[in-house]
Structure 1
Amino acid sequence: MNATLSKQGRQKHPPGLYLLFLTEMWERFSYYGMRALLTLYLTTAFVSGGLGFEKSAAMSLYGFFTGAVYFTPLAGGYLSDRYLGRRLAITIGGVAMALGNFMLFAQHSLVGLYSGLGLLIIGNGFFKPNISTLVGELYSDQDQRKDAAFTIFYMGINVGAFIAPLVCGYLAEDIFKTTVEGVVHYGYRYGFLAASIGMVIGQILFNSLGDRYLGDIGKRPVGKSPDPQEAAAAHAPLTKKEKQRTAVIIIITCFVVFFWAGFEQAGSSLTLYTDIFVDKHVFGWEVPTAWFQSLNPMFIVIFAPILSSVWIKLAASKKGDLSIPTKMGIGMIMLGIGYMILILAVLQTGSDEQNVVVKSNILFIVLTYFMHTLGELFLSPVGLSMVSKLAPIKLASLLMGVWLASTGVANILGGKLAAFTQSLGYFEVFSLIGAISIVMGAILLLVSRKLVQMMD
């Protein structure tokens, strides 16, 4: 057995992994490019290219949108498992998201806003659970390359997430800036157009190269698979062990809601705090606010390979690798530490947006994003791999949707918390998020041994 595992470790990854890497990279370029601009677009005055929302209303809408984006994978996962097949669902989702971003570009109005966001919500539901499940289907359950494959795939997510705010933020805040009668107009529309084009590029790659590099994987619903064992498994009742593993996925999903509620402040309260209270000048040049959204994916691209090699060394050691619940508990604690660093900045600046006397050093927000990134690396790719390993075949995409739905619940909760920064203040909200994350991480560490027994 050891010789087999060693041989697997030396094998190259299938080329289909890199096709899925590129497809997901362009989808994340589209999503994070739009997300980096959304709060700024909502709160900027109409005459300046925005929609003139109140900040609390904008952050609530942002939270609802980013929450709904991660709820619809439940329906998308179910439909693809039962009726569509994963490949068709990915195409439907990609086309819908490209159209959604194009609506935001074409219609500078509430109609354009809500129709565009609606298409993005629907499209993500079809796309997101199925692209991750396809990665797992490239490997057998015993293939030791699967964790490494999800790390590579996760880097694809974050390459797109790194590039998107730079490109879309630059288009929005610099290139299309004009002055008419002393009023500054921002080109948010062109940032949304770039996001739409990125989604189109990803779909062209996926559909033109899919048959060549993926073969028949994901073409049929699970119950109609040509593999007799897979087809039989799709109709068989769950075993006791499968029920226990499904329970573990759901339990850990409930815990990570608290992580994502804090992590997803990046696009709302952290963006507004950075815009108003952080000294963004570097060598005399002011960094665009949207560019700070690239810190997290940049850190992931840098540190994901390092952390992956650490997991490999731990697995080869006598003590063995850390368990999945242990990694996730540590990740939640790291997120909390990130907020404790940011609280030091808030103590200097206060929360009065109308009378900003002191601005915080840019390093505070950089260190906050760094700790959040480390926490994410301990939690998110591990979670994707966990669902791929533990989920029964008949529920694979549905349970991936459940995992993603935790981000949906978290974004709605996070939107409410972000809105409270306008009434309670940044110090109170950031302190609360940090404390809850640390406490929930500690609880997850305490119950990790029991969860490992259930995972078997």
Structure 2
Amino acid sequence: MATKQEIVQSVPQKGFFGHPKGLLSLFFTEFWERFSYYGMRAILLYYMYYELNQGGLGLERSTANSIMAVYGSLVYMSGIIGGWIADRLFGTTKTVFYGGVAIMLGHAVLALPGGVTTLFVSMALIIIGTGLLKPNISSIVGDLYADNDVRRDSGFSIFYMGINMGAFLAPLVVGTVGMDYSFHLGFGLAAIGMFLGLVVFVITKKKYLGLAGSYVPNPMSKDERKTVFTRIAIGLVAVLLIGYILITNGIMTIDVFTMIVSILGIVIPTIFFIVMYRSSKTNADEKSRVIAYIPLFISAMVFWAIAEQGSIILAQYADERTDLMLGSWEINPAWFQSLNPLFIIGLAPIFAWLWVRLGVKQPSTPKKFALGLFFASMSFLIMIIPAYMNGTETLVSPWWLVLSFFLVVLGELLLSPVGLSATTKLAPAAFAAQTMSLWFLTSASAQAINAQVVKFYNPESEIVYFGVIGAVAMLIGLAMYILSPKIEKFMRGIR
């Protein structure tokens, strides 16, 4: 296995806005992957609850909301598998490619006319593919930089901007085609987007990525592979058999499955932390950093519980509670999904410049997380105002949604790219890709909890719904800020 220095030296270090050339390859690969994912997601909720004569599946709104949350949770929860496969079998580069292929096939299936069965088959493919690709491509970004490279946070911010460029265009393109012409045609465009991402990755990786992502950090021995694969095969057969029996007997309903995923969203990261901390491959400094990572994880989970409702509760709010007419021009409700990435595209360069400008004077990672939670809480608390002023039976101005998305983006830029960077620095060496998977579990856990929370939303409960969630986030952010000095001590020299 190559050393960190050899990996960094194998990558051309100048050529993409003062960053390694490999960042260009990963930037555009992730651009197209996010175009496909967010394009699909912009119309998926509407596809599920619109009536059959509107081209949808005619599901109940509360059911569609829960499925969206569970789907989002499983997409990121599968990152555990992707991280393990990269760490033990293929390395991150190969795992990213296989994930892209699965995502492309998933969108292609959803583009075909079909019912609920086709929907779930497509979801399964995209869940697996995103789990393979998403955490590992971010891990490769970390490989491009030396541990003490001051460009690291700036590089992750630029990478994050690429993610959001794809996410910005997707609802405008896929959303317009899907809502105005055909849901299935929109899903087909998402498949094409992932195909383009794969083309970019294959063409540029050899020249620009060097050894980054090409190694297997913790390879299994031949005997280990035999044992592990046997257990996996037995486990899959058992799960499929039990699932079949429960479904055919009416025991495994959507509500029951949703509850199982919600429980897993808490149990899995807990087990993950215990295993990493107790591993003989984790040294004393790494154990301390694992402890420091726990409050960062909890804060990120609370943040994403709010942010991810932008594609669920706020999407429904845009469709049913918002005045979509601006003069004679009607706004497509799917377009609101472009607000989050639009603000990030505009603000990410400013934040990237700010961290470089401040250098060692910038707020520590825990304090950035605390500030991120403050803005997230405000994004929900301000949604109380239109309901309080005008009631819940009248349509509200679209500018309330614009303000809500803007506030949560301020929080996201304080927390998300910084969290990606901190994860690569705090990760135990033997669990590099798997720790990146743990970072994406913050979103998985948040959406697993959301699968239960979103059931309580309805126009009549808006004030309580937005108020309680916003207040909880505010209190946790305050606690994070107060405890930040102690957390920094456990980080052992990592800011």
Q: Deviations over 1:10-58 (max 9, x none)?
A: 9921111011000011111111111111111100012211000100010
Aligned to 1:152: 158
Q: Distance in 2 between matches of 1:202 and 1:288?
A: 27
Which sits farther off after the overlay, 364-373 or 211-220? Answer: 211-220
Aligned to 2:39: 33
Q: Secondary structure at the match of 1:108?
A: coil
Contact kept? 2:153, 2:355, Cα under 8 Å: no
Q: Secondary structure at the match of 1:361?
A: coil
Equivalent of residue 204 in structure 1, options 186, 190, 199:
199
- Change in Cα spacing, 1:349 to 1:55, as seen in structure 2 (3 Å) is farther
Contact kept? 1:248, 1:454, Cα under 8 Å: yes
The answer to whether the aligner puts 1:324 opposite 2:324 as a matched pair is no
Q: Secondary structure at the match of 2:323?
A: coil
Q: Distance in 2 between matches of 1:28 and 1:343?
A: 31
After superposition, residues 9-408 of structure 1 pair within 5 angstroms as: 12-174=18-180, 176=181, 187-223=182-218, 237-315=281-359, 320-351=361-392, 356=393, 358-408=394-444
Q: Distance in 2 between matches of 1:426 and 1:56?
A: 15
Q: Distance in 1 between matches of 2:474 and 2:35?
A: 31
Contact kept? 1:159, 1:297, Cα under 8 Å: yes
Contact kept? 1:348, 1:360, Cα under 8 Å: no
Q: Deviations over 1:258-305 (max 9, x none)?
A: 111111111111111111111122232011000000001000010111
Q: Distance in 1 between matches of 2:213 and 2:358?
A: 33
Aligned to 1:182: none
Q: Secondary structure at the match of 2:282?
A: coil
Q: Distance in 2 between matches of 1:34 and 1:147?
A: 29
Contact kept? 2:97, 2:133, Cα under 8 Å: yes
Q: Distance in 2 between matches of 1:223 and 1:337?
A: 43
Write the letter of the residue equivalent to 2:194.
M
Q: Distance in 1 between matches of 2:113 and 2:289?
A: 46
Q: Distance in 2 between matches of 1:423 and 1:13?
A: 48
Q: Distance in 2 between matches of 1:13 and 1:376?
A: 23
Q: Distance in 2 between matches of 1:9 and 1:101?
A: 36
Contact kept? 1:77, 1:130, Cα under 8 Å: yes
Q: Which runs of 4+ in 1 moved over 4 A?
A: 8-11
Contact kept? 1:43, 1:53, Cα under 8 Å: yes
Contact kept? 2:87, 2:219, Cα under 8 Å: no
Aligned to 2:267: none
Q: Distance in 1 between matches of 2:390 and 2:124?
A: 37
Write the letter of the residue equivalent to 1:273.
Y
Aligned to 2:225: none
Q: Distance in 1 between matches of 2:334 and 2:390?
A: 21
Q: Deviations over 1:102-132 (max 9, x none)?
A: 1111132111100000101111110011000
Q: CA deviation at 1:349?
A: 4.9
Which sits farther off after the overlay, 381-390 or 413-422? Answer: 413-422
Q: CA deviation at 1:173?
A: 2.0
Aligned to 1:231: none
Structure-2-length-normalised TM-score: 0.82
Q: Give aligned pairs, total.
A: 421
- Change in Cα spacing, 1:312 to 1:14, as seen in structure 2 (3 Å) is closer
Q: CA deviation at 1:236?
A: 7.5
Which sits farther off after the overlay, 272-281 or 132-141? Answer: 272-281
Q: CA deviation at 1:426?
A: 2.1
Q: Distance in 1 between matches of 2:191 and 2:456?
A: 32
Contact kept? 1:55, 1:419, Cα under 8 Å: no
Aligned to 1:3: none
Q: CA deviation at 1:422?
A: 3.3
Q: Secondary structure at the match of 1:53?
A: coil
Consecutive unaligned residues of structure 1, counting only runs of 5 or more, are: 1-7, 177-186, 226-234
Which sits farther off after the overlay, 415-424 or 402-411? Answer: 415-424
Which sits farther off after the overlay, 64-73 or 272-281? Answer: 272-281
Q: Secondary structure at the match of 1:106?
A: coil
Q: CA deviation at 1:9?
A: 11
Write the letter of the residue equivalent to 1:138.
L
Contact kept? 1:33, 1:164, Cα under 8 Å: yes
Consecutive unaligned residues of structure 2, counting only runs of 5 or more, are: 1-12, 221-278
Q: CA deviation at 1:377?
A: 0.5
RMSD of aligned Cα (Å) = 1.9
Write the letter of the residue equivalent to 2:326.
V
- Change in Cα spacing, 1:297 to 1:279, as seen in structure 2 (3 Å) is same
Contact kept? 2:154, 2:355, Cα under 8 Å: no
Aligned to 2:247: none
Aligned to 2:243: none
Write the letter of the residue equivalent to 1:313.
R
Write the letter of the residue equivalent to 2:434.
L
Q: CA deviation at 1:217?
A: 1.9
Q: Secondary structure at the match of 1:169?
A: helix
Q: CA deviation at 1:338?
A: 1.2
Aligned to 1:428: 464
Q: Structure 1 vs Structure 2: percent identity of aligned residues?
A: 38
Q: CA deviation at 1:414?
A: 1.8
Q: CA deviation at 1:153?
A: 0.2
Q: Secondary structure at the match of 2:34?
A: helix
Write the letter of the residue equivalent to 1:283.
G
Aligned to 2:275: none
Write the letter of the residue equivalent to 1:189.
H
Q: Secondary structure at the match of 2:443?
A: helix
Contact kept? 1:73, 1:128, Cα under 8 Å: yes
Q: Distance in 2 between matches of 1:348 and 1:277?
A: 14
Q: Distance in 1 between matches of 2:421 and 2:34?
A: 19
Q: Distance in 2 between matches of 1:9 and 1:327?
A: 28
Contact kept? 1:9, 1:145, Cα under 8 Å: no
